Amino acid sequence: MAKHKSVSTKAESGVPDRSPRPPAGRTGLPHAPDPPPLPLAGEGGGEGAGERTGAVAETTEDEEFSYLVEPGDAALRLDKFLALRRPDVSRSRVQRWIEAGAVTRNGAPARARDAVQVGDAIALAPVVDPEDTAYTPEPMPIPVVWEDDSILVLDKPAGLVVHPGAGNWSGTLLNGLLAYDPALARVPRAGIVHRLDAGTSGLMVVARTIAAQTDLVRQLQARTVLREYWALVAGEPPPSGIIDAALARDPRNPLRFRVSEAAHARPARTRFRCIRTWTLGPAGPRVSWVSCRLETGRTHQIRVHMESIGHPLLGDPVYRRHLPATLNGQSWLGHQALHACRLGLVHPRRHETMEWFAAPPPDLRDLMRTLGATEGELSAPLPATAEERRIAPLAKPGGGKG
């Protein structure tokens, strides 16, 4: 028989909820001490962002929660009302619960768009989304560089697909994460909050709880996560620049994206600076070492943006326009020369700024040393420029290093 929790919300009056909470435990879901309330999901924190009380942070599948609608919440959409009551859960997840029939209003099925009224009794029996548990754990080496109860930071090797999809239903990072930590089965997408292309190596963060995942997604939406990549590109780009160009899927090739002014194109913005340029041979083509920082995280963003300004990445199997014939004939790495070397974020539980650096993998490292980079240059983050310090994206100062 399902356990039942009654939660009387006092958000508008500022009176904190005193309902008993379940004991802490390692369930793969948020556990005590509870994280502080988080804003609603959505771009930039979403509408209605702000602190609310009355949330119960730890949940198991057989627990049911009920909420009484008070005057301050009258006329809110049902999904928004529940998202405010459960700030540790994204609004899209609440909507899936409603669609699955896990939410009732006064004992009857409800719709996400229904407006709640004073005195309504809202019951919630959280369910696990089928897609969250449909994947099989597969043991594999997981190159973890940092872990605690809230997050994992790992250094993904090139060639590893991040998430199952068409043509790659097994052997992905997600499968490996489920074997590394079975509790990640309770977190959507096994805690993955951002992806790297299969051919790209480098740092990724994975959430180990739903609360941490929600917090990290909101940091990504607010563009406060530092994501720096090193790339080798054809030619000699300007010393620095900003590529502000929306991206859309190429209608002639569904595997490609392109710069587009179409109404459905998604905004994309990349900052870059040229670190070093080498000339191959007495009169050969030039190759440059470029540092890129993402302000948005679109699929193939750096690869498309650099190709769009005439400097495609070496080894890229898809984005090769403007690549000189002498470079096009080289085998290079067998994948694009792109590595996510630096990651910085505000820890979702500690609320401290943390930052990690990962040197390029051996194949890219060897190529860069052959071109002329020194071991010292490849073993540490580049010093920030005055402009980068001015626009440092991390939301909070201080904190520690990973």
What are the DSSP calls for 43-93, one per residue? GGG-TT-S----------TTEEEEEE--GGGTT-BHHHHHHHH-TTS-HHH
Residue 273: beta bridge partners? 240, 291
What backbone phi and psi angles, to 5 degrees, belong to 397? -80, 170
Rg (CA), the chain: 24
Q: Which residues of 294-333 are buried (b: 16+ CB within 10 A; e: fewer)?
A: bbbebebbbbbbbbbbebbbbbbebbeeebbeebeeeebb
Residue 342: beta bridge partners? 228, 357
Catalytic, out of 79, 88, 155, 197? 197
Residue with tokens 């071991």: 375
- Give Cβ neighbours of residue 203 (< 8 Å, ≥ 6 apart): 145, 153, 154, 155, 156, 340, 341, 342, 343, 356, 358
Contact 15, 9 (CB under 8 A): no
Catalytic residue at 197? yes
- Interatomic CA distance for residues 243 and 252, integer angstroms: 23
Here the tokens at position 282 are 């007495």
End-to-end, the C-alpha distance of the chain in Å comes to 44
Query: For the CA atoms of 364, 152, 49, 395, what is the dihedral angle to 10 degrees?
Result: -60
Catalytic residues: 197
